[in-house]
Amino acid sequence: MAASDAPDEREQLHAELATVREQAATVQAEVLEAQAELAKVRAINADLLARNAYLELINQKLRREKYGASSERSRRLLDQLELTFEELEANASEAELLGRIAAAKTTTVAAFTRKRSTRREFPADLPRERVVIPAPETCPCCGSDDLSHLPADVTETLERVPARHKVIQTVREKVSCRRCDKISQPPAPFHVTPRGMFGPHFLANLAFQKYGLHQPLNSQRDRLEREGIPLSLSTLADQIGAICVAVKPLFLLLEAHALAADRLHADDTTVPLLAKHKAEVARIWDYIRDDRPFGGPAPPVALCYYSRNRKGEHPRAHLAGYSGILQVDRFAGFNELFRDGRSEQPMTRANCWAHGRREFFKLVDIKQQTKRKNGAAPLVSPLAAEALVIIDRLFAIERDISGKPAAERLAVRQERSAPIVAKLETWMHTTRASLSCHDAVAKAIAYFLNDWEGFTTLLADGRICLTNNSAERELRAVARGRKAWLFVGSDRGGERAAIMFSLFGTARLNDVDPLAWFSDVLDRIADIPQTRLHELLPWHWKAAQTLEQAPELAA
């Protein structure tokens, strides 16, 4: 090839490269536009569903007033409709904000804005606290100090303080330059939720009452009304949806920290899901990272997910790419995670001895047997009692080594626990051979022997715990909540609940006051850079609070 042809070939390559880049930019723009359009359609659909639920609720209330229906069933129906409307209103608010985020990435798609009722003024008798943001002393345009004051803009935000409410009036002074006629005013402070009606402490309390203390929004609305603050259910639900969007990045950080663990506890519990004809049984899954039993330095995390059913595909999706130790019960939905044919590296299964022990304990628990409705006399199985004596020796050893380093725990287990486990295995094989396969003791033994390898992995790794109680303890909060909120109103509502359960559960595991921490998170999350978002994680927040209090305690 001649030397004169080289510049032409380079120019041709540059031209082709520029064309490819233009095509890639065009495709990327089209993808962003499609995503924005999809988010817009979802926001519109969510808004329509919320409006329909609101009209249905109003219709039922009017019918109740007109025809005088006063039965308890009618009251429960209204409560169900209010909970449905609450979930759909929060869905609509969340979809609207996600649509705005998607539309901001394009120049051709306009974000969908919901039509809301006229903003209601706060009661005049509520105490006011005036916060004045002073105007600039010199004109930022020309530097002149010859300024004249204009009427200031006043924004009222409802904030919660201990035992009382107050309205904070934020006054942004406005000035006009006599020399250049330039009007200057400091920027408005950022609010966590749209329209800035509520302060971070009020919003944190709203979310904590709903997800931390399991107070439904209609109950919170009634309490606020008794305190002289009339707020509609739609207004409160609107804030919940916006809060979940604001704290989603923090949840993703918790998720990344949890799934980076060498060992996880996993479990699930039921949550009734409100459906058209009858409630369905949905699930809340939790995955706990807690290295404290073997002296690990990593802070604990509670990670929760929601699913509409209990199919094994859900834990496989939650733990895609994870290949550490998983402590579980004998639920078959986890089995696929431990097979050699798994695309990712198979996990190490560690079964829960507390679940196996429970099968024997049922056979000696007289109190539980007397509650049976068939009136049968309680029986104590001597074989089950013998198994409990052996198993309880293992639990006693585990209590002695809790919190010790993994190497020390493993050495103690190999010396003291391994002979007990071998004795138990021999006893189980001998006893099952002498029993019918339908005998209750034989079934309890089969629970162990059908996956004996999963029960004995603790003898090879000091990080493994004897039980899966860490996961079960975290789900107690969900079980307690079911008695208060009865069910979740939609799949989106279940996903929001899982996010908030993760945040508040992680705060409790790190001995952090959930309400104080979440209030500070909502106060700071808008202004903090993405690179410093980890500072809002409960353990980092606790360390920062300790450092701030140290000089005060020294003084």
pTM above 0.95, yes or no: no
Q: Kindly state the average pLDDT of the residues 139-143.
A: 89
Please report which confidence band the pLDDT of residue 487 belongs to, taking 50, 70 and 90 as the band edges: confident
- 404 and 425 in a common domain: yes
* Shared-domain flag, residues 377 and 446: yes
- pLDDT value of position 313: 92
Q: Are residues 107 and 39 in the same domain?
A: yes
| Together in a domain, 135 and 88 | no
d(Cα 348, Cα 324) in Å, to the nearest integer? 6
Measure the CA–CA gap between 160 and 182, rounded to whole angstroms: 38
462 and 359 share one domain: yes
Range of the domain at 100: 29-119
Q: If we measure between CA atoms, which residue out of 169, 174, 170 comes closest to residue 136?
A: 174
What percentage of the chain exceeds 70 in pLDDT?
A: 92
* Rounded distance between C-alpha atoms, residue 333 and residue 434, angstroms: 32
Radius of gyration, alpha carbons of the chain: 30
Domain end: 143, 178, 193, which one? 193
- Inform me whether the pLDDT recorded for 21 exceeds 80: yes
Domain count, the chain: 3
Q: Which candidate, 315, 330, 271, places its Cα nearest to that of 491?
A: 271
193-230: pLDDT as tens digits: 776 789 899 999 999 999 998 888 988 999 999 888 99
Q: What is the DSSP string of 451-485?
A: THHHHHGGGT-TT--S--HHHHHHTHHHHHHHHHH
Distance CA 531, CA 515 (A): 24
Same domain membership, residue 362 and residue 440: yes
Is 308 within the bounds of a domain? no
pLDDT of residue 255: 95
pLDDT digits (tens, 9 = 90+) for 41-61: 888 888 888 888 888 888 877
Q: Same domain, yes or no, for 131 and 80?
A: no
- Residue 419 token pair: 């002979």
Domain end among 145, 167, 193: 193
Distance CA 69, CA 26 (A): 61
Q: Are residues 95 and 148 in the same domain?
A: no
Q: pLDDT tens digits for 298-317?
A: 999 999 999 999 999 999 99
Vertex 522 angle, CA 521 and 525, to 5°: 70
Is pLDDT of 162 > 80? Answer: no
